[in-house]
Amino acid sequence: MKPIRLLSLAVVLAVAAGCSSCESELDRLQAELSDPSAVKRAGAARILWKVESQRAYQLANLALQDRSSVVRTAAVRALGDFKRIDTTNALIRAVKDADPEVVREAVLALGKRFDDRVAGVLLDVLDSARSGGGVKETVLDVLRRNGLTMRLIGDRLAAKRLERILRQWPDAGPARRAALVRQAGRLALAEGLDVVLDGLEQDDDRVVVAALEVLDGRGDGRALKRLVMLSSSELPEIRRLVARQLASHGSEGISVLWGMVNDPDPGVRLAVLGALMTAGEKLPAAPACELLLSGEDGHARKALELLSKSRLTCSGMPVGKVPPRGAATDRLLRLFLEYESAAARRTIGSLLAVVEQPQRPIADAASVWLGRQEKAASARIAKELGRKLVTCSRLLESWPKDKLAPQSGERQGSEKRGQQLDDEELRELYERHGMKLRPGAPRSVADILSRFRPPDMDESYGLRIFDPLGNRLRLEILMLLFSLDKLDRANAEELARRFFELGDPELSGRIAAHFGPAYGKGWVGSCQVAAKLLASAPAGLAGGPMRLLLAVCGQRYADSVCKTLKSASLRKREEMLNAATGRVPECMLQLAKKFLKGESVAAAARMLARVGTAAALPALQKVLQTAGPAARLIVLEELARLGDDTILPRLEKLLLDPEPSMRLRAIRLLARLGTGRARKALERAMWDPDRLVRRLARRELEGENGHGKGKTEETERRGRKVP
């Protein structure tokens, strides 16, 4: 018995001695935690776990409040190494730290203490918009290592978001409720639709609009009943959104749509026509044709697109509904040049044939696009083009070229004889543009421009003021030329070259854009004119000459192109880069690489990717390190176009972006790459909390498998249908 008592006494004395040494060690560490040096404070915090006690735990908690992120990171690592004391609460506080590295270490430490509570905290971190610096990737890795599948993670995230929405709904005002409805509508949970339907029945228009934007054809009878009521709303925006939804509600929805065809608002009528086309109904041409003639330009374009897709014309339109010929013809000619598809030009031609008088050259040209290819019409068009060529030549030659009156303050005698606009020429110039020449009025071209150019006008405005041809004449010439091109190619090419060589920047630029690439070497004789036009053309008119020079003029004009590109304004530079196709001069490639560092990142990246040389890859990869967010996305798109799989880590990171639109963009780029790793990333995206992201990921995978005939590996393994 005595030996046992002696042994117990020895153990007590040893423990007491150990505790005494522990306390002295903690005293030393506590002193170091107050040291001015962050390195020393971090060193002390990191080894607190070795002296595991309540006091050590308290010191580690204090270190979590240190001003240095290095010290806080060391404290988190120490808390993660504690064995006997539960440090979960302290680590949960650490995941709210502002520094991503501190949060990442806290996530890793919590992964060792995983339970339902920790899972909820980590899902909150994953759902946080401010989580960056690799935090979300770490959270996903920890959750998966602890047995959570991507589907379960996505569903639990969606459930947390829905819980937050339902908690905020009762006390939310109209603006906040509208935001909550939009969030609920994107959730990949059926319960989210209940919030949307509740929003649809609210009295505030803002909430109703939000609900209509995310309803997406769902809701069956409850939604349809409310949509029918809203179809007569006083607010055009609500009626327009209702029309888009009704197409998904079968015959009842379609019958309501037919009742909205004559809605007084043109935007609503367009939405109704689009919905009827989506539902497979035969589109009525008359409402769309009326919008094409008399609606706003934006509505006219959309009406033209609807008519073109439905392959409808306006041939049977009553003459009484046609507006006066001048305004209607101007709009139709502008649209003719803007839309190059045969279907669109056929629709425009059918209207021009109604608007213009029979036997007029424009009516003849319009009939070409309706399939009427008569020799007599071809002769009349060519004859009219010959007359217009003479008219253009006379106007351009009679215009006082290269004459400038002296700048303000300069003496009249300082200019060379014959280089001034005389009083008669100045008076004619002013009267042509609706101004009177009064004493003291600006006399020089520069002064006139600075006095009369509106501040929001670009540099091409000067051409429109000093414009001997006029826009209507150009529009007619271009339509006649393009129509003759379908009837008599050789004659059209010859006339086109003669118009081109007149040197009018806009007319020649559009002719070059249409004829140059198509006719190849026949345009070599016009290269000098094209180079001169490119150098003098303002932004908006440089693309045509640029394409012509690159297509047929060869390396002789490479220096001219590169010199113009180097000195061009930002808008003109980007237009030239966007027009560059085919064989691009080496000097232009080098300039494009330089522009990657400046304001033209997007245009330069597109050009380098379009040219597709292997030498473009390093330059595009390098700019990813310095480009801003918007430019970086465009560079990623171009690298994906080139099949560069080094961007995969960036795209995987983009799949964790808090903004759904960014995740959608990442999915499209991953699908374009098509590698095995990209496919796995798409499979993970199928369980995103956002239903639209899930839908796009599924479509991209199904398209890869043969338009829905295959299944993803995860779906086959689980035996479940992808939602």
Sign, Cα dihedral of 106, 107, 110, 111? negative
- Residue 206's Cβ-count burial label (10 Å; 0-12, 13-18, 19+) is middle
List, in order, residues 6 or more apart from 617 with CB less than 8 Å away.
639, 642, 644
Residues in the chain: 723
List, in order, residues 6 or more apart from 598 with CB less than 8 Å away.
none
Phi, psi of 674 (to 5 degrees): 70, 15
Please give the pLDDT value at position 407. 38
Q: For residue 105, is pLDDT > 70?
A: yes
Largest CA distance in the chain: 134
Q: For residue 413, is pLDDT > 50?
A: no
- DSSP 8-state assignment for residue 414: G
pLDDT band for 596, please (50, 70, 90 cuts).
confident
Please give the pLDDT value at position 197. 93
Q: What is the mean pLDDT of residues 505-530?
A: 73
- Tell me: the pLDDT tens digits for 79-93? 999 988 999 999 999
Please give the pLDDT value at position 17. 44
Which has the closest alpha carbon to 638: 555, 702, 577?
577
Query: What is the distance between the alpha carbons of residues 63 and 419, in angstroms, rounded to a whole number?
Result: 82
- Tell me: the pLDDT tens digits for 341-385? 888 888 888 888 877 766 688 888 888 888 877 778 888 899 999
Cβ 334 vs Cβ 369: under 8 Å: no
DSSP string computed for 453-519 = S-TT--TTHHHHHT-SS-HHHHHHHHHHHHHHHHH-HHHHHHHHHHHHTT--HHHHHHHHHHHHHHH
- Tell me: the pLDDT tens digits for 626-683? 777 788 888 888 888 888 888 999 999 899 888 899 999 999 999 999 889 999 999 9
Please give the pLDDT value at position 408. 39
Query: What is the distance between the alpha carbons of residues 457 and 474, in angstroms, rounded to a whole number?
Result: 21
- Tell me: the pLDDT tens digits for 171-185? 999 999 999 999 999
Please give the pLDDT value at position 108. 94
Q: For residue 18, is pLDDT > 50?
A: no
> CA separation (Å) from 206 to 161, 211, 213, 223, 340?
21, 9, 11, 17, 39
| Angle of the 297-309 helix axis to the 342-355 helix axis, nearest 10 | 120
Tokens of 283: 């589109």
Please give the pLDDT value at position 720. 32
> CA separation (Å) from 625 to 134, 612, 643?
16, 21, 19
Query: What is the distance between the alpha carbons of residues 473 and 388, in angstroms, rounded to a whole number?
Result: 8
| Domains in the chain with CATH codes | 25-148 (1.25.10.10), 170-370 (1.25.10.10), 643-723 (1.25.10.10)
Please give the pLDDT value at position 209. 96
Q: Pick 544 or 587 by higher pLDDT.
A: 587
DSSP string computed for 81-117 = H-SSS--HHHHHHHTT-SSHHHHHHHHHHHHTT-SHH
Please give the pLDDT value at position 362. 85
Q: What is the mean pLDDT of residues 102-120?
A: 93
- Tell me: the pLDDT tens digits for 684-720? 999 899 999 999 999 999 876 543 433 433 333 333 3
Q: What is the mean pLDDT of residues 542-555?
A: 78
Q: For residue 466, is pLDDT > 60?
A: no
Q: Pick 623 or 554 by higher pLDDT.
A: 623
Query: What is the distance between the alpha carbons of residues 244 and 270, in angstroms, rounded to a whole number?
Result: 10
Q: For residue 481, is pLDDT > 60?
A: yes
List, in order, residues 6 or more apart from 540 with CB less than 8 Å away.
458, 460, 571, 575
Sign, Cα dihedral of 666, 671, 676, 679? positive
Q: What is the mean pLDDT of residues 117-133?
A: 83
Cβ 249 vs Cβ 281: under 8 Å: no
Please give the pLDDT value at position 106. 94
- Tell me: the pLDDT tens digits for 223-273? 999 999 999 999 999 999 999 999 999 899 999 999 999 899 999 999 999
Please give the pLDDT value at position 489. 85
Q: Would you tell me how many other CB atoms lie within 10 Å of the CB of residue 181? A: 30
What percent of the chain clears pLDDT 90, i.e. is strictly above it?
Answer: 34
**Average pLDDT across the chain, whole number:** 80
371 torsion bin: left (phi>0), alpha (psi -120 to 50), beta (else): left
Please give the pLDDT value at position 391. 87
- Tell me: the pLDDT tens digits for 372-383? 777 788 888 999
